[in-house]
Chains A and B, each alone.
Chain A
Amino acid sequence: MVQVCQSTIIDAPIDEVWRVLRDFNGHDRWHPAIASSVIENGEPVDAVGSVRRFRLADGGELREQLLSLSDEECRLTYCLLESPLPLMGYVASIRLKPVTDGNRTFWEWRSEFHPPANRRDELVRLVTDGIYRAGFAAIRKLLSVGQRQVPIVARAVDAPAVARAMPKPVEPVSAAVSDRTRAIVVAKYGGPEVLEFREIGLSEPAYGEVRIRHTVIGVNFIDVYCRTGYFDLLSPPGVPGMEAAGVIEAIGPGVSGVSVGERVAYACPPVGAYSERRNMLPELLVRLPDDISDEIAAGALLKGVAASFLLHDVQPVRPGSVVLVHAAAGGIGQVLVQWARHLGATVIATVSNDDKARLVERLGAHHVIVYTSENFADAVMEITGGRGADVVYDAVGNDTFAGSLAALGVRGHLVSFGQASGPVGNWDIGRFSSKSITVSRPNYGHFTDTQEKLAPHVNRFFSALRQGIVRIEPPRRYPLAQAADAHRDLESRRSTGSLVLTV
């Protein structure tokens, strides 16, 4: 029998390292030797006894079984069931310990097995270097300070107060107009038909501003509210849109820390993203790392940041929480389902039809309710044995608000963060005392309007993407000129996932 033991120090807190390593099916997302992995029979990844079947980058297929898992000790043990290599009787364990001196992590990876004598050295070397040491290096890279650092562009320096007045008029009437660009303009509040594609003036970037050439533009329900006048973020005539990715094209006076050609994205007011090019202040721009595509940034930044503060700040979701997510097949719904599941919650999702139900089940929802065919509040009570949900994330509004209140347990929290089906109307809060209900109405801006507030959410979301905690399906693409079609599809509830406009 041989024993292999390798250990290292990772410069990240133990919680972060354990979050990655405890996912028994997550090794294909960080280990360079592993191409793909699935858990057999749809078992939960943290069920002791579950079997992962995975393929190596060189094509070999292996099966390994989880023998023990301890969140208390940050330790897991597994054994090899099938392998193209003669690693007979291979049992391995991973354990982590905190290094309190510096908030780092000690990681030990050890195993024992019975190799044939003539291949002993080769196999020990393979396990030591090809698996354990390569794994250390990959995790170190994944969690290194460089990857975790704030991806936010430096702020403008000493911008005079006058240049900060927001929002800027979208069609400058002064002599400063030096260029033209094409954009979608809301000439008056109304339906999708009011979205006009036309040329507008574009001034040089003013003091403290940068100009961005958009590549991909995100479409969000908030854009519909701007178009209809439900929110007063846009005064006609104006260009809607609060999310996009692109490249810095020009830099106005008084801006430092940004260079022409840098890839950036944003998800913030003021409106104006539905355009080929625009000027804006750089404070809330996010510098895009190489591994985040323009399409994913434009399609998911706003949803990811919103999901981050909804799940961590508005109502911290903890292991064992019962979370109800409405419109779970929608853009933000998909992120909430995956992330809440990762946080250890029991996730109950509602969707409008069976196709969406299948999609949401694949994302990891524990229970899916097709609300068109059953009463979701009753279903939640049945699923939870009468306990009810701890938190309901409800962006549907009018159609679901009453049911969401009914689905809550005692001291439950209804987070109303949208009204896709119409405003929720007036409610007598006295009735909430029957369950000590909390209702909150978070506003995106209040959680993201400074770099200090925004950066932790961006970092957390990018890290969740890298680690595969949240997977974003490729967004549905529409040419910028056809923004009205995108709005129609979004409002009709026909769409799933994200919608983007391409330039």
Chain B
Amino acid sequence: MPKVYVSSVVNAPAADVWQVVRNFNGLPDWTPFVAESRIEQNAQPDQIGCIRNFTLKDGGRIRERLLALSDYDLSCTYSILESPMGVENYVAKLALTPITDGNATFCEWEAEFDCAPEREAALIQQIGTGVFQAAFTALKKRFAR
């Protein structure tokens, strides 16, 4: 099963970063690649099982289900229900950990999925660099101090 792991350091307290990334409906606010997002069935964005339905700036539409959210561990786990990427069994987790030294945040984003073998390398690159790292880079810029 292909895996992607990306981690970075954001120069802000973990609580501040968590406030931004905790919102399951908030991708348009902080990532550079999501145009708009809504939560289906009028659910709350922190309701486990809720589905976010969002449109990428390139036009693609993705539906993802919130599987777990922890204000104690500062982590969020979700799966993909529909996407143009050609992945199956895709589960991803975004987690923050405080760095006491300098009061910064260690951010990790990992995903596991199944796909056609010939697409594996391209997908790992696309998800790791094009999505996770791109979002972290935007977070770093947002909190630059």
Chain A contact residues, CB within 8 Å of chain B:
5-9, 97-102, 104, 106, 108, 133, 136
Q: How far is the CA of A133 from the CA of B102 in the complex (A)?
A: 12
A-B contact pairs, 29 of them (CB 8 A): A5-B98, A7-B97, A7-B98, A7-B99, A7-B106, A8-B100, A8-B101, A8-B102, A9-B104, A9-B106, A97-B108, A98-B5, A99-B7, A99-B8, A99-B9, A100-B7, A100-B128, A100-B133, A101-B7, A101-B8, A101-B9, A101-B133, A102-B8, A102-B9, A104-B9, A106-B7, A106-B106, A108-B97, A136-B101
The interface residues of chain B, by DSSP majority, are classed as: strand
Chain B hits for A104, CB < 8 A: 9
Contact with B99, one of A9, A98, A101 (Cβ below 8 angstroms): A9
Chain B hits for A99, CB < 8 A: 7-9, 106
Contact with B136, one of A6, A98, A101, A136 (Cβ below 8 angstroms): A101
* Contacts beyond the supplied A8-B100, A100-B5, A136-B101: 6 A-B pairs with Cβ under 8 Å: A5-B100, A7-B100, A98-B5, A100-B7, A100-B128, A101-B6
Q: How far is the CA of A106 from the CA of B101 in the complex (A)?
A: 11
Chain B hits for A9, CB < 8 A: 9, 99, 101, 104, 106
Given the contacts A99-B9, A100-B7, A106 and B136 also touching, CB distance less than 8 Å: no
- Are the CB atoms of B6 and A100 closer together than 8 Å? yes
Expressed in whole angstroms, the minimum distance between the Cβ of B83 and any Cβ of chain A is 23
Q: How far is the CA of A136 from the CA of B98 in the complex (A)?
A: 16
Expressed in whole angstroms, the minimum distance between the Cβ of B140 and any Cβ of chain A is 8
Q: Which of B1-23 contact A (CB under 8 A)?
A: 5-9
Chain B hits for A136, CB < 8 A: 101
Q: How far is the CA of A136 from the CA of B5 in the complex (A)?
A: 25
Expressed in whole angstroms, the minimum distance between the Cβ of A129 and any Cβ of chain B is 11
Using CB atoms, name the residue of chain B closest to A99: B7
Chain B hits for A8, CB < 8 A: 99-102
Expressed in whole angstroms, the minimum distance between the Cβ of A125 and any Cβ of chain B is 14
- Are the CB atoms of B101 and A7 closer together than 8 Å? yes
Mask, B70-107, CB within 8 Å of A = 1, is 00000000000000000000000000011111101010
Chain A hits for B99, CB < 8 A: 7-9, 106
Q: How far is the CA of A104 from the CA of B9 in the complex (A)?
A: 10
- Are the CB atoms of B8 and A97 closer together than 8 Å? no
- Are the CB atoms of B7 and A97 closer together than 8 Å? yes
Expressed in whole angstroms, the minimum distance between the Cβ of B56 and any Cβ of chain A is 22
Task: Enumerate the 9 nearest inter-chain pairs by beta-carbon distance, A residue then B residue, closest first.
Answer: A101-B8, A8-B101, A106-B106, A7-B99, A6-B100, A99-B7, A100-B7, A7-B100, A100-B6
Using CB atoms, name the residue of chain A closest to B6: A100
Expressed in whole angstroms, the minimum distance between the Cβ of B126 and any Cβ of chain A is 15
Chain B hits for A133, CB < 8 A: 101
Expressed in whole angstroms, the minimum distance between the Cβ of B133 and any Cβ of chain A is 6
Q: How far is the CA of A430 from the CA of B97 in the complex (A)?
A: 60
